[in-house]
Each structure stands twice: as structure tokens, then as C-alpha cells.
Amino acid sequence: MKGIVFVGFFELVEKEFGYEMVDKLIASCNLESKGIYTSVGTYSHNEMVQLVTKLSEFSGVEVPVLLKTYGQYFGKAHLRKYNMFYEQASDTFSFLESIHNHIHVEVKKLYPEAELPHFDSNRVSDSILELVYTSARKMSAFAKGLIEDTALYYGEEVEISQKNIEADGSKVLFTITKL
Ligand code: HEM
């Protein structure tokens, strides 16, 4: 997992829970990186699993809620700077449709070691898009936060429902409805 994902995570932890929580997390997890991350470095996904699990334990906030909030933050704070991708799409649906065949493809060219999810999309009607998320990292809650941030960027109101296709969360169907 790329370091930028960890850097953004610690920014949000510090903002929401204070620096003591950052310290407490690093001290209580068994991190190969020792909690030192650079944006372009690559680290084990297991470190993120440990950090989010511990943060949930310490804060009492459930893991999916933490990941969704983190997705919203990461979109706004880190993805918006890739403005060419946002400018190439005219609305939430066309942006989401372009992740798999365009955006994440470019990311992979820049960072061949990036571990990216697979997305299949299906435009059911003008107002409904189905997006199937597949990833061994099971971060669909993070994806949901990113989808919400995308809609915020395009100034559109959407309702997002999600259903596990695989019980372990490695394959999830999102149905996104424009209101
Ligand atoms: C400008 C747009 C985007 C860029 C530049 C981008 C880039 C990236 C990068 C660099 C990673 C980290 C890969 C790694 O850690 O190895 C990532 C992961 C991820 N991206 Fe994107 N992304 C974008 C938009 C989106 C959107 C809108 C979604 C949601 C539908 C999304 C879903 C995900 C998820 C869920 C992961 C976590 C890894 C996984 O679940 O397997 N991305 N993306």
C-alpha cells in the first residue's frame, strides 16, 4: 500500500483525535515501518489493518465508519489535486466510470507497485449507476467515502446503497442513485 494512504490517515487521526492518539497507535501496533511513512514509499497493507483496528478499539468508532470518514477526507485532501481527472469527467457517474479504465491505470503507470481495486460499472439508467468493487483488501467502506466525496465535488446529491456479493467484503455492489 502506498505511503500517501498512511500519511493521509495520520493527518486525519491527528485532526480528529489529537497527536496523543497518533503516538498511542504507533506504540500499540506491530509496524514493520515503525510508523515512519513517505508518500511514495510502499508498505504492507497489514499495517493499515492494524492501525484501523486499534483506532476503532481506542475511539469506540466502528471500523467501517472510520474507513468511510477517511475516504471522504482522502478524496478532498489528496485526490482533488489530480484535477485533470476531475476536469475530464463531467459528472459523478462519468468520473466513477473512468476510475478503472483510466485513473487507476495512470496510477499504476506511475506506481507499478500500487495495489488497486477492480471496478466494474453498469449504467442502469440516467440516474442509477451500479459499481462493483473487488479487492482482497476489503476496503469498500473507504470506497464509499471516496464516492461521497466525488458527488460533493460535482455538486450532485446521491444516495449510495451497498450489498456484499462475497460475504467477506472482497466483492461489493454499490448502487448509486442521483437524487
Ligand atoms: C483522482 C482520482 C483517484 C486517484 C488518483 C486514485 C489513486 C489511488 C491510489 C494511489 C491508491 C493507493 C494504492 C496503494 O496503496 O497501493 C488508491 C487506492 C484505492 N482507490 Fe483510488 N484513486 C482515485 C479515485 C478513486 C475513487 C473515486 C474511488 C472510489 C470509487 C477509488 C477507490 C480506491 C480504493 C477503494 C482504494 C484502496 C485499495 C483497495 O481497495 O484495493 N479511487 N487509489
Q: What is the pLDDT of residues 37-93, one digit of tens each?
A: 999 999 999 999 999 999 999 999 999 999 999 999 999 999 999 999 999 999 999
* Ligand 1 atom nearest residue 150's Cα: 27
Mean pLDDT of the chain: 98
Predicted local confidence at residue 99, as pLDDT: 97
* Ligand 1 neighbourhood includes 1 CB (under 6 angstroms): yes
Predicted local confidence at residue 157, as pLDDT: 98
- Which protein residue's CA is at the shortest distance from atom 15 of ligand 1? 1
pLDDT tier at 9 (50, 70, 90 boundaries)? very high
Using most ligand atoms within 8 A of CB, pick from 116, 135, 170 the residue to mutate for ligand 1: 116
Burial (Cβ within 10 Å: 0-12, 13-18, ≥19) of residue 48: buried
* Ligand 1 neighbourhood includes 172 CB (under 6 angstroms): no
Using most ligand atoms within 8 A of CB, pick from 103, 138, 149 the residue to mutate for ligand 1: 103
Q: What is the pLDDT of residues 79-109, one digit of tens each?
A: 999 999 999 999 999 999 999 999 999 999 9
Say how many C-beta atoms besides its own lie within 10 A of residue 121's C-beta: 19
Q: What percent of the chain clears pLDDT 70, i.e. is strictly above it?
A: 100
Predicted local confidence at residue 5, as pLDDT: 98
Please tell me whether residue 81 adopts helix, strand or coil conformation: coil
